[in-house]
Structure 1
Amino acid sequence: MKENVASPVFEDLAHKWMKKLGIAVNKDFITQELQAHPDYPALTSLIDFLDMGGMKYYALESEKKYITEFNYPVLAHIKEAEGKGYLIQVNTPHEWDENEILATRWSGIVLIPDEHPSWEYEANTQIIKQERILKLFAAATVLIILLAIGYVFRNNLQPLTIGWGLLSLTGVAISIMTIATELGMQIKLVKEVCNSVSPRGCDAVLKSKEAKGVGGISVAHAALSYFIAQFAFFIFSSSSPALLYTGMVVSLPLIIVAGISLYSQKFIVKKWCALCLGIVAVLAVQSLVTVLNFSAVYASFQAVHIIAYFITMALICASLVPVKNGIKSIREQMSAAQDLMKWKRDSDLFAFQWNKNPYINTNTWKEELQLGNPEAALQLTIACNPYCGPCANTHKVLDKLHHIYKEVINIQIRLTCDPDHPTDKKTIAVKAILEQATILQSDAHKAQMLSDWFEWMNLEKWQLKWAPVQDKNVTALMKKHAEWMKTADIKGTPTIFINGRELPRKYLLEDLFQLIPVLVASTAVAGNGELKPMALTD
């Protein structure tokens, strides 16, 4: 079911809904994940995102008489003409009557969270942690700046000093927002202000050849360097008042730069940039302040400080170049990663790559060591070594896949061993694992047993929790494991198979978090193990 909802409304809605549920999801992360989904912006893209983090929910078609039984907030589907529609968030049962759109155009489809919703995904968790660190760093930076301003003002509360400091700090703030916009960063408030002055005006002006500057030094880059140098001189003016007047002298001729900017926006680019106008306003006011206090400024500044000012500005400008290039590189990599993510989530492309690999018989044995749904359309077979570090890392991913998708996938674990050498370290471990698996009745216990093994990979420690099993002969089963490894020509571990064919080389096991819902929804398994688009299956 496709929802014809324009970006970024769909991801904004999803983010706000999860936030309302008390689930911390990074806005950029959910936007990237949803937009990379082949069904974006359909409801299925959000459902697959919820599945990815193990969230319990109910996506169903209901009737209005049941609305008081829903867990709120919910997402309701609103129908439009020509079969199109969109989602809206409903926070209380009363809204169904109070909201005319809900009352008249609700299709009956609703997404309801579990009573105690939770969602967790490692990549998002790491981003949230990084966000917190950045916020602490930003708070510390602001505190340092405020302390520095307080240090300047402690013995000098003259209106000129206060006004100049505020203008300088305003210039730094606007310049940071300007260079961020130039680099393609989306700041909601800035975007709204820019569009209110001139739709897409900021982007048009900042990307014009006039604003690009020379040698990688754009107008925004130069403005930030200028205002940082000016603010630094303001801070140090508490010990040398002449530094304050130096900044004022330098600002005087920049009214010409402000005029050139206005001319370029009006007659060349023919768009207005709200951020550029903000910088122009600061430059104009600073020039006016300098003119009004010219006699005091002229009498106090020192020429040597002018040279120091431009050297400081040049050093700041040079130091910003690698920072700006680094940010550009990161954003380009993120864009490339998103394109790759879209490519990897294309189920038809995956099936094409997968079909190139030779078929290996992975049919289930009696007493197979497996987790999940044995009748599932998607059968994952993992060849691994009980003492293999990469296998342990792979099992952590498998454990999460099993936790999230245990109803729609089956995971077979096949272990390297040598039954002809019963004293071999690997053989002893495999024997203990298989013996334990034969007496465990539930998936949950088997999953925990395997997780403990791959966490410790220490037989003595493991058997303190999972006591040795008596009177269970698994020799025949071990021989099946060993023979299959030989028949499948396993060269290294872990090796991952999906429905008898090896996972394509360009894919990682982690990619299945996003691929499994797409494959389950859009493919069927033919008799020979091939994945085919549903429409092509008999």
Structure 2
Amino acid sequence: MIFDKLINYLKLDKQEFSFQFNSHPNYPSALAFSDTLNFMGVKNDAYELDKEYWDELPEEFIAIVDNSFALVKKSGASYSVYSEKAKTLNKEELHKKSTDFVLLFEKTENAESKAVFNFKPLLYAVFAIILGYSFFTQTLFEALFNVLSLAGVYISLEIFNQKFGNTSTVIGSICGDASASQATNSCDKIIKQDKTSILGLKFSDFSLIYFTGLIVLGLFLPATSYIVKGFTFVSVLAIAYSLYIQAFVEKAFCRVCLLIISILAVQLVLGIVFFQNMPFTVGTLLLTAILWILVFSAVLYFSNILSQKESLQKSNAKNLRFKRNYELFKSQLLENEKIEFQDSETFALGNENAKLRLSIVSNPYCGYCKDGHKIMEGLLEKYPDDISVQIRFNYSPERADEKYTQLLSAFKHIYHNKPQKEFLKSIEEWFEIKDENKIVSLAGSSAPEDLAAFIEMTKDNTSNGLNFTPIFILNGYQFPDKYDREDIWFFVDELMEDEDFQ
């Protein structure tokens, strides 16, 4: 299922979204799509709504149009629809091509792309430097040759990225807005179904190698003109092979491929007509050989790395789809013996009447507890009325020093005298700076508190075998060891709706 325009519009990381969507146990259902949007920070609610009520919908909503999830934007009397491609429909066409499913969404700050580093600005900066150098230090035809090489590199990079599932607006624009079947018979059929394989590299990969090497050689024109002309002559073989594959094997012409062929042809003409045969040394020939080996090795390396990553992602998606099955999680959860805590005064947060009760056995000096508390705080923030939380700090006076006693006293004072948000903020601050004096300052009191309830609670934890921290307890059942604590996000909605579990 393809919905590239929708993902781009919401500014989501396409690879991350695809991975989470494909690994959902209910893939490719509307529930899986909705849950994935929630996970990526796009809050949403799904409805089955008769078309007669669609006029009351907001300006933007998500629907299933032509059997694919699509963003629908009202634009006067027409609707702009973003899915695999962008298109405009009138009201009657939209209703005819859509199901009754609608999804209303609200973008949050977390909905931005999660990419760690964007290499495109760096790539554009390198291109700009090369262009500046070419036009200021070389002849017009030499500079034009380098411009064509840069264009070849850019298009080849787009094809290279598309091979690993990334969307390319450039390739999409060049190939046109043909229907899906036509796209499969042209660009996709030639590029994605390329049967050439030399050390795992496709024919399109060699285009990237060729143009990258040619850029470097082009910077040293006219000294390298003889070698550059030689490579442009060799490109005739690539042109002939590509045209043969398109015309006689696949019987479909790819616009991107034809554009690259045009670049090669123009460079061939420039080389023959305007480049002089400058003498070259053995050293120049050796450096050229080293250059091509380095470029070839780099492309081969990144191709193998990305292929392995793609393979692992597909494998992980299948494994996670199985692991994130709620019934499987529930069976693992209920395998543990139910824990009955004794009533004791503790830190209780959220809605005390909520059907889903989370207890976290923790220790302020436990390094791993920080992440557990972050998850707990996130759940409270997202489900303030649907979950209750109990923080169970282990405390034994015979093993605790004065600082720990002071810290717990400060927490207790904040809990009883200040709003819940300030109490949670004090715990968050503690795990960030680990400064007892700072927490005492936040409490506004250094007076010792009665910690007898914590002593009894610790004995209760120990009697139930809860000695290590952090530990999550859901409605009396210890969180399964086979799952990471972060996995609770995939099951919390179903846990709250499961009357048998409650």
Per the normalisation by structure 1, the TM-score is 0.76
Deviation at 1:382, TM superposition (A): 1.0
Given that 1:54 and 1:118 are in contact with CA atoms closer than 8 Å, whether structure 2 keeps it comes out as yes
RMSD: 4.0
> Match of 2:91, as an amino acid?
N
Please name the residue that 1:99 is paired with. 91
Given that 1:360 and 1:500 are in contact with CA atoms closer than 8 Å, whether structure 2 keeps it comes out as yes
Please name the residue that 2:360 is paired with. 382
Deviation at 1:212, TM superposition (A): 0.7
Deviation at 1:93, TM superposition (A): 8.2
Going from structure 1 to structure 2, the CA distance change for 1:273 and 1:459 (only over 3 Å counts) comes to same
Going from structure 1 to structure 2, the CA distance change for 1:284 and 1:462 (only over 3 Å counts) comes to same
Please name the residue that 1:4 is paired with. none
Please name the residue that 1:119 is paired with. 108
For residues 206 and 12 of structure 1, what CA distance do their matches in structure 2 show? 21
With 316-325 and 180-189 compared, the bigger mean Cα shift is at: 180-189
> Alignment identity in percent?
23
SS of the residue corresponding to residue 236 of structure 1 reads coil
For residues 227 and 252 of structure 2, what CA distance do their matches in structure 1 show? 34
> Match of 2:368, as an amino acid?
P
Alpha-carbon displacement from aligned partner over 1:119-172 (angstroms, at most 9, x marks no partner): 133xx66725533xx24323322322222322344xx23xx4344333323332
Alpha-carbon displacement from aligned partner over 1:437-484 (angstroms, at most 9, x marks no partner): 3445x5434323433333343322211111338696441x12331112
Please name the residue that 2:72 is paired with. 89
Is 1:446 the equivalent of 2:423? yes
| Superposed counterparts of 1:129-528, under 5 Å | 130-131=117-118, 134-153=119-138, 156-157=139-140, 160-191=141-172, 193-194=174-175, 199=184, 201-206=186-191, 210-213=195-198, 215-237=199-221, 241-270=222-251, 272-292=253-273, 297-298=276-277, 300-302=278-280, 304=282, 305=284, 308-362=287-341, 365-419=343-397, 425-440=403-418, 442-468=419-445, 473-475=450-452, 477-521=453-497, 523-526=498-501
Alpha-carbon displacement from aligned partner over 1:373-420 (angstroms, at most 9, x marks no partner): 223332221111122221123212221221112222222111111145
Structure 1, unaligned runs of 5 or more: 1-6, 530-538
Count of equivalent residues: 488
For residues 320 and 191 of structure 1, what CA distance do their matches in structure 2 show? 23
Given that 1:379 and 1:499 are in contact with CA atoms closer than 8 Å, whether structure 2 keeps it comes out as yes
> Match of 1:414, as an amino acid?
R
> Match of 2:387, as an amino acid?
I
Alpha-carbon displacement from aligned partner over 1:80-115 (angstroms, at most 9, x marks no partner): 9xxx997652447876997335789999876556xx
Given that 1:388 and 1:493 are in contact with CA atoms closer than 8 Å, whether structure 2 keeps it comes out as yes
Deviation at 1:366, TM superposition (A): 5.0
Q: 2:2 aligns with which of 8, 15, 22?
A: 8
Given that 1:419 and 1:482 are in contact with CA atoms closer than 8 Å, whether structure 2 keeps it comes out as no
SS of the residue corresponding to residue 460 of structure 1 reads helix
Going from structure 1 to structure 2, the CA distance change for 1:12 and 1:33 (only over 3 Å counts) comes to farther
SS of the residue corresponding to residue 389 of structure 1 reads coil
Structure 2, unaligned runs of 5 or more: 80-88
Deviation at 1:518, TM superposition (A): 3.8
Given that 1:52 and 1:404 are in contact with CA atoms closer than 8 Å, whether structure 2 keeps it comes out as no
> Match of 2:2, as an amino acid?
P
Deviation at 1:236, TM superposition (A): 1.3
> Match of 1:150, as an amino acid?
F
SS of the residue corresponding to residue 358 of structure 2 reads strand
SS of the residue corresponding to residue 360 of structure 1 reads coil
Please name the residue that 1:533 is paired with. none
Going from structure 1 to structure 2, the CA distance change for 1:202 and 1:378 (only over 3 Å counts) comes to same
